[in-house]
Structure 1
Amino acid sequence: MEPLNVLIVDDEYLIRNLLRMRIDWEKQGMRIVGEASNAQEALEWVDQQKPDIIFTDIYMPKMDGIELSRLILEKHPDIKIVVVTGHDEFEYARKSIQIGIVDFILKPIRSAELLTVTDKLKAMIGEERKREAEVWKLRADLEQNFPYLREKFLLQWLNGTLTQMELREKAVFFNMPMLIKSCDIQVAVVEIRGASQELEEPLILLRMKCSDEIESFYQGEPHVVTLTDTQNRIVIIVLNEAVDLTPDGEALIRYLTQSYPCSVSMGIGRQHGCAEEVEESYQEACRALHYQAFVGKNQVVYFEDMVNYSEQPYQSNAELLQQLQFCISTGSSARAVEVLNDIFNVSFSSVTQFRFAAMDVITECQRVVLEQQIESVQVFNKEAWVSILEVDHLPELRTRLEFYVRYVSEAVHSKNEIKEDQLISQVKAYLEDQLGDPQVGLASTAAFFFVSPGHLGRLMKKETGKTFVEYLTNLRMKKAKTLLIQTELKGYEIGERVGIRDPQYFSVLFKKSMGRSMNEYRQHKS
Structure 2
Amino acid sequence: MYKAIIVDDESIVRDGLRNTIAWNDHGFELAGDYENGREAWEAIERLKPDFIISDISMPFMDGLELARLVSTNYPYMKVVILTGYDQFEYAQQAIRLKVRDFVLKPITAREIRELLDKARAEMDEEAKRLEDLGRLRSQLHQSLPLLKERFLERLVLLGLGKPEIEERFAYFGLPPLEPPCLVMVADIDDFGEKETLIDDGHDAEFLRFAVFNIFEETASQRPGTLLFRTREEKLMAIVGGAADESELYDAAFGMAEEVRHLVEKYLRFTVTIGIGHAVSSAEQLPASARSALSALDYRFQQGKNKVLGITDMEGSSAPASPVPNRDWDRRLAAAVRTGAADEARELIGRIAGELRSAPLPVCFLHIQRILLALLDVAQELGLGLESPAGEAAPIQPLCLTEVYRFKTLGEIEDWLKDIVASLMAGIADNRSRFTRLQIARATDYIEEHYADEKLSLRDLCRHVLMSTSYFSLAFKQCTGETFVEYLTRVRIEKAKALLLATSLKFYEIASRVGYADPNYFSILFKKHTGMTPRDFRERQAKESV
What TM-score results when the alignment is normalised by the length of structure 1? 0.61
How far, CA to CA, are the matches of 2:232 and 2:350 in structure 1?
25
Q: Would you say the 8 A contact 1:19–1:109 is kept in 2? A: no
Candidates 305, 308, 315, aligned match of 2:312: 305
Tell me, yes or no, if the aligned pair for 1:189 and 1:266 is still in contact at 8 Å. Answer: yes
Tell me by how many angstroms 1:156 deviates.
Answer: 0.9
1:60 maps to amino acid = M
The aligned runs of 1:49-128 (5 Å cut-off) are 49-88=47-86, 91-128=89-126
* Aligned pair partner of 1:389 in 340, 356, 364: 356
CA shift, 1:403, in A, is 7.0
Show CA shifts across 1:102-141 (max 9, x none): 1122111223432332233112212221121011001110
Q: Is the 8 A contact 1:388 1:401 kept in 2?
A: no
Q: Larger radius of gyration, structure 1 or 2?
A: 2
Which range is displaced more, 195-204 or 69-78? 195-204
1:85–1:93: 8 Å Cα contact kept in structure 2? Answer: no
- Per the alignment, in what secondary structure is the counterpart of residue 173 of structure 2? coil
What corresponds to 1:184 in structure 2? 180
Distance 1:60 1:54 in 2: 15
**Quick one: distance in 2 between partners of 1:65 and 1:102?**
13
Do the aligned partners of residues 105 and 55 (structure 1) sit closer, same or farther apart at CA in structure 2, a change above 3 Å counting?
same
Task: Give 1:77 deviation, angstroms.
Answer: 0.9
Cα distance change on mapping 1:388 and 1:92 into 2, 3 Å: closer
1:194–1:231: structure 2 CA closer, same or farther, 3 Å change rule? same
After superposition, where does 1:498-509 map in structure 2 within 5 Å?
Answer: none
Tell me if the contact between 1:294 and 1:385 (Cα under 8 Å) persists in the aligned partners.
no
Q: Helix, strand or coil for the counterpart of 2:227? A: strand
Contact 1:39 1:65 in 2 (8 A): yes
Would the aligned equivalents of 1:66 and 1:96 in 2 still touch at CA under 8 Å?
yes
Aligned partners of 2:169, 2:321: CA distance in 1, in Å? Answer: 39
Candidates 253, 262, 271, aligned match of 1:264: 271
Residue of structure 2 equivalent to 1:135: 133
Instruction: From the superposition, tell whether residues 220 and 43 of structure 1 become closer, same or farther in structure 2 (CA, over 3 Å).
Output: farther
| Contact 2:159/2:283, CA 8 A, preserved across alignment | no
Structure 2 unaligned segments of length 5 or more: list them: 330-343, 386-391, 394-545
Shift of 1:272: 0.8
Q: 1:38 to 1:127 in 2, by over 3 A?
A: same
SS in 1 for 2:25: coil
| Equivalent residue letter for 1:178 | P
Q: Secondary structure at the match of 1:27?
A: helix
**What is the CA–CA distance in structure 1 between the aligned matches of 2:24 and 2:140, rounded to whole Å?**
38
Give the direction of change, closer, same or farther, for the CA distance of 1:261–1:382 in structure 2 (3 Å limit). Answer: farther
- Give the 3 Å change call, closer, same or farther, for CA 382–225 of structure 1 in structure 2: farther
CA spacing shift, 1:391–1:124, aligned 2, 3 Å: closer
Q: Does the aligned pair in 1 maintain the 2:54–2:82 contact within 8 Å?
A: yes
The answer (yes or no) to whether the contact 1:253–1:265 under 8 Å persists in 2 is yes
Residue 234 of structure 1 deviates from its aligned partner by 1.5
2:209 corresponds to: 208
| 1:114–1:378 Cα change, 3 Å | farther
CA distance in 2: counterparts of 1:8 and 1:172, whole angstroms = 46
Q: Which residue of 1 aligns with 2:533?
A: none
Tell me how far apart the structure 1 counterparts of residues 312 and 321 of structure 2 sit (CA, whole Å): 12
For 1:188 and 1:382, how far apart are their aligned partners in 2? 32
How far, CA to CA, are the matches of 2:9 and 2:24 in structure 1?
24
Flag the 1:229–1:381 CA change in 2: closer, same or farther, 3 A.
farther
For the residue of structure 1 that corresponds to 2:124, the secondary structure is helix
Superposed counterparts of 1:139-288, under 5 Å: 139-179=137-177, 183-192=179-188, 193-196=190-193, 197-198=195-196, 199=198, 201=201, 202-219=203-220, 221-242=222-243, 243=248, 244-288=251-295
Q: In 2 relative to 1, CA 351–166 (structure 1 residues): closer, same or farther, beyond 3 Å?
A: same
- What do residues 347-380 of structure 1 show as CA deviations (whole Å, max 9, x unaligned)? xxx845988x99xxx9xxxxxxxxxxxxxx9799
Task: Note closer, same or farther for the CA distance 1:408–1:298 as it changes in structure 2 (3 Å cut).
Answer: same
Q: CA deviation at 1:230?
A: 3.0
Letter of the structure 2 residue corresponding to residue 303 of structure 1: I
Which position in structure 1 is the counterpart of 2:451?
none
Secondary structure at 1:170's aligned position in 2? helix
* Structure 1 equivalent of residue 421 of structure 2: none
- 1:344-359, aligned counterparts within 5 Å? 351-352=319-320
Unaligned runs of 5+ residues in structure 1 are 311-349, 363-376, 424-526
Residue matched to 2:417: none
CA drift of 1:383 comes to 7.3
1:375-386 mapped onto 2 (5 Å cutoff): 384-386=351-353
Distance 1:155 1:414, change over 3 A: farther
Alpha-carbon distance in structure 2 between the residues aligned to 1:56 and 1:295: 82
Contact 1:250 1:300 in 2 (8 A): yes
What SS is found at the alignment partner of 1:116?
Answer: helix
Change (3 A) 1:91 1:275: closer
**What is the alpha-carbon distance in structure 2 between the residues aligned to residue 283 and residue 207 of structure 1?**
22
Q: CA deviation at 1:22?
A: 4.6
- Alpha-carbon distance in structure 2 between the residues aligned to 1:66 and 1:379: 99
Q: State the identity %.
A: 28
1-structure distance, mates of 2:52, 2:349:
82
Does the 8 Å contact 2:182/2:288 carry over to 1? yes
Q: How does 1:389-428 map to 2 (within 5 A)?
A: 389-390=356-357, 404-413=367-376, 417-418=382-383
Shift in Å at residue 267 of structure 1? Answer: 1.1
Q: Secondary structure at the match of 2:23?
A: coil
Give the CA deviation at 1:26. 2.7
Three-state SS of the structure 2 residue aligned to 1:113 is helix
How many residue pairs match? The answer is 356
Q: CA deviation at 1:42?
A: 0.8
Aligned CA distance change for structure 1 residues 20 and 401 (closer, same or farther; 3 Å):
closer
Aligned partner of 1:333 in structure 2 is: none
C-alpha distance in 1 between matches for 2:366 and 2:41: 94
Secondary structure, counterpart of 1:47 in structure 2: helix
Distance 1:414 1:85, change over 3 A: farther
Displacement of 1:183 in angstroms is 1.8
Q: 1:98 Cα shift?
A: 1.1
Displacement of 1:279 = 1.1
Query: Separation in 2 of the partners of 1:67 and 1:37?
Result: 14
Provide the rounded CA distance (Å) in 2 between the counterparts of 1:281 and 1:391. Answer: 24
User: Counterparts of 2:115 and 2:66 in 1: how far apart (Å)?
Assistant: 20
Counterpart residue type for residue 186 of structure 1: L
Aligned residue type for 2:47? Q
Q: For 2:4 and 2:205, how far apart are their aligned partners in 1?
A: 58
- Does the aligned pair in 2 maintain the 1:51–1:79 contact within 8 Å? yes
The separation in 2 between residues aligned to 1:164 and 1:46, in whole angstroms, is 48
1:15 corresponds to which residue?
13
**Correspondence for 1:295 among 302, 305, 312:** 302
Q: 1:10 touches 1:37 (CA, 8 Å); kept in 2?
A: yes
> If the length of structure 2 is used for normalisation, what is the TM-score?
0.59
Shift, 1:162, TM fit:
3.4
More displaced stretch, 383-392 vs 287-296: 383-392
Q: CA RMSD in A?
A: 3.5
Amino acid at match of 1:277: Q
Deviation at 1:94, TM superposition (A): 4.3
- Tell me, in whole angstroms, the C-alpha distance in 1 between the residues paired with 2:346 and 2:66: 88
Question: How far 1:60 moved relative to its partner?
Answer: 1.2
